[in-house]
């Protein structure tokens, strides 16, 4: 079945350093979504990428979708303690009308002040 792999599983950075998490799918995706889960919280939607090679920015966060639409990345510039949490990518199951997602296992980011 469809698999979405995400690396690294954990990342510890000093505040101010950059951070990147990578997501790879075993199949071509129509789109990819990114979620953030703060400690003790629930996943919250961040963004969706649809087009091949698409790049979107949200302040210090930069999201990229690969040309082949099988991989994606999230890059955070100059991390802050507010960035702490687990970041998940998710791709849709194939099948018309399906809202089902396959989630990566997530990257847990720790920021050392």
Partner 1 sequence: DVKVTQSSRYLVKRTGEKVFLECVQDMDHENMFWYRQDPGLGLRLIYFSYDVKMKEKGDIPEGYSVSREKKERFSLILESASTNQTSMYLCATILSSGYNEQFFGPGTRLTVL
Binding site for partner 1 (CB under 8 A): 6, 9, 33, 35, 41-45, 48, 88, 90, 99-101, 103-106
Minimum distance from CB of 37 to partner 1 (Å)? 9
Tokens of 107: 């990257």
Q: Which residues pair with 63 in a beta bridge?
A: 56, 74
Task: List the beta strands (DSSP E) in 1-113.
Answer: 4-7, 10-14, 19-25, 32-37, 44-49, 55-58, 61-65, 71-76, 85-92, 101-103, 107-112
Which of 51, 105 has the CB closer to partner 1?
105
Minimum distance from CB of 110 to partner 1 (Å)? 14
Which of 77, 92 has the CB closer to partner 1?
92
Which of 7, 77 has the CB closer to partner 1?
7
Minimum distance from CB of 89 to partner 1 (Å)? 10
Tokens of 72: 């994606």
Question: 1, exposed or middle or buried, with CB in 10 Å at 0-12, 13-18, 19+?
Answer: exposed
Minimum distance from CB of 59 to partner 1 (Å)? 18
Which of 27, 77 has the CB closer to partner 1?
27
């Amino acid at each position: 079945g469809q698999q979405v792999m995400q690396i690294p599983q954990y990342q510890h950075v000093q505040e101010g350093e950059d951070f990147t998490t990578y997501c790879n799918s075993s199949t071509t995706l129509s789109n990819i979504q990114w979620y953030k889960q703060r400690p003790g919280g629930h996943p919250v939607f961040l963004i969706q990428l649809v087009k091949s090679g698409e790049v979107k920015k949200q302040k210090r966060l930069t999201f990229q979708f690969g040309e082949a639409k099988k991989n994606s990345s999230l890059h955070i510039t100059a991390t802050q303690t507010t960035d702490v949490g687990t970041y998940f990518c998710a791709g849709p199951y194939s099948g018309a009308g399906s809202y089902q997602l396959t989630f990566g296992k997530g990257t847990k980011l720790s920021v050392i002040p």
